[in-house]
Amino acid sequence: MGKEQRRLRRIKSNRIIFSLVIAAFLFLPPKVFGLELQGFSDITYTYAWHKKDLTDPNTNGTFALGELDLFIRENLSDRVDFLTEFNYSADPNTNGGSVDIERLQIGYLFNDALFVRAGRFHNALSYWNMTYHHGRQLQTSIERPDFLRFEDAGGLVPTHLVGLWVGGLFDTRMGGLEYDLMGGNGPRVQNVDPATTSGGSLSPNSTGDDSKNKAATFMLRYTPRAIRGLGIGISGNIQQLRFYESDGVTEVPIVSPDGSTTSVVNQQIYGVNLEYLAHNIEFLSEGYQFRDYNYHGQSYLDYVWYAQIGLKIMNRVTPYGRFERWTVLANDPYFVALATQDMSKTVAGLRFDLIPRSSIKAEIRFINTPSDNYNETAIQWAFAF
Amino acid sequence: MIAGKSFPVDTLTLDGIKEIYKGEKQLIAGVRLKPIDQRDSQTIRSQFLNKVLNFSGDEYVTYWNNRLFREGGIPPIPQNNSGEVITMVQETDGAIGYVWLDETTAAKANLRILLTIHVRQ
- How far apart are the C-alpha atoms of A159 and A170, rounded to whole Å? 25
Residue B23's closest chain A neighbor by CA? A112
Q: Determine whether the interchain pair B65/A81 forms a contact, defined as Cβ–Cβ distance below 8 Å.
A: no
Encode A56-88: b = buried (16+ Cβ within 10 Å), e = exposed. eebbeeeeeebbbbbbbbbbeebbebbbbbbbb
Chain A nearest CA to B72, separation (Å): 6
Residue A32 confidence (pLDDT): 45
Residue B65 confidence (pLDDT): 85
**Tell me: the pLDDT tens digits for B25-82?**
999 998 999 999 999 889 999 999 999 998 888 889 888 988 888 888 789 999 999 9
Domain harbouring B85, CATH code: 3.40.190.10
Of B19, B61, B68, the CB nearest to A171: B19
Residue A158 confidence (pLDDT): 95
Report the 10 Å Cβ neighbour count for B82. Answer: 19
Alpha carbon A125 to its chain centroid, in Å, reads 10
**Tell me: the pLDDT tens digits for A249-277?**
999 999 999 999 999 999 999 999 999 99
Mean pLDDT by 10 residues, chain A (385 residues): 58 60 54 68 94 86 90 89 88 73 94 96 96 92 96 92 96 93 95 94 88 93 94 97 92 94 96 95 98 94 98 94 97 96 97 94 97 96 94
Chain A nearest CA to B105, separation (Å): 31
Question: How far is residue A348 from each of residues A140, A171, A311, A379, B112, measured CA to CA in Å?
Answer: 11, 37, 12, 12, 52
Q: Determine whether the interchain pair B61/A71 forms a contact, defined as Cβ–Cβ distance below 8 Å.
A: no
Whole-model pTM: value is: 0.88
- If you count residue pairs, one on A and one on B, with CB atoms under 8 Å apart, how many are there? 62
Residue A74's closest chain B neighbor by CA? B73
Residue A3, classified by CB atoms within 10 Å of its CB into exposed (0-12), middle (13-18) or buried (19+), is exposed
**What is the phi/psi pair of residue B59, to 5°?**
-65, -35
Q: Is residue B67 part of a domain?
A: yes
Report the 10 Å Cβ neighbour count for A28. Answer: 12
Q: Determine whether the interchain pair B24/A169 forms a contact, defined as Cβ–Cβ distance below 8 Å.
A: yes
Structural domain that includes position B74: 2-113
Percentage of the residues of chain B whose pLDDT score is greater than 70:
99
Q: Determine whether the interchain pair A71/B58 forms a contact, defined as Cβ–Cβ distance below 8 Å.
A: no
- How far apart are the C-alpha atoms of A196 and A193, rounded to whole Å? 6
Residue B110 confidence (pLDDT): 85
Q: What ipTM does the predicted assembly reach?
A: 0.85
**Is residue A293 a contact partner of residue A274, using CB atoms and an 8 Å limit?**
no
Residue A11 confidence (pLDDT): 57
Among candidate residues B69, B82, B89, B119, the one with its CA nearest the CA of residue B20: B89
**Is residue A100 a contact partner of residue A159, using CB atoms and an 8 Å limit?**
no
Q: Determine whether the interchain pair A75/B24 forms a contact, defined as Cβ–Cβ distance below 8 Å.
A: no
Residues of chain A found within 8 Å of residue B15, distances taken between Cβ atoms:
225
Residues of chain A found within 8 Å of residue B72, distances taken between Cβ atoms:
73-75, 81-83, 105, 107
Positive or negative torsion for Cα B39, B42, B46, B47:
negative
Segment holding B17, helix H or strand E: helix B14-21
Domains assigned to chain A: 3-384 (2.40.160.10)
Report the 10 Å Cβ neighbour count for A169. Answer: 20
Best mutation target among A41, A77, A78, A173 (most B Cβ atoms within 10 Å) is A78
Chain B nearest CA to A145, separation (Å): 18
Q: Is residue B120 part of a domain?
A: no
- How far apart are the C-alpha atoms of B25 and B27, rounded to whole Å? 6
**Is residue A336 a contact partner of residue A198, using CB atoms and an 8 Å limit?**
yes
- How far apart are the C-alpha atoms of B63 and B75, rounded to whole Å? 10
Residue A33 confidence (pLDDT): 46
Q: Is residue B23 part of a domain?
A: yes
- How far apart are the C-alpha atoms of A385 and A69, rounded to whole Å? 10
Total structural domains in chain B? 1
Residues of chain A found within 8 Å of residue B27, distances taken between Cβ atoms:
78, 109, 111-112
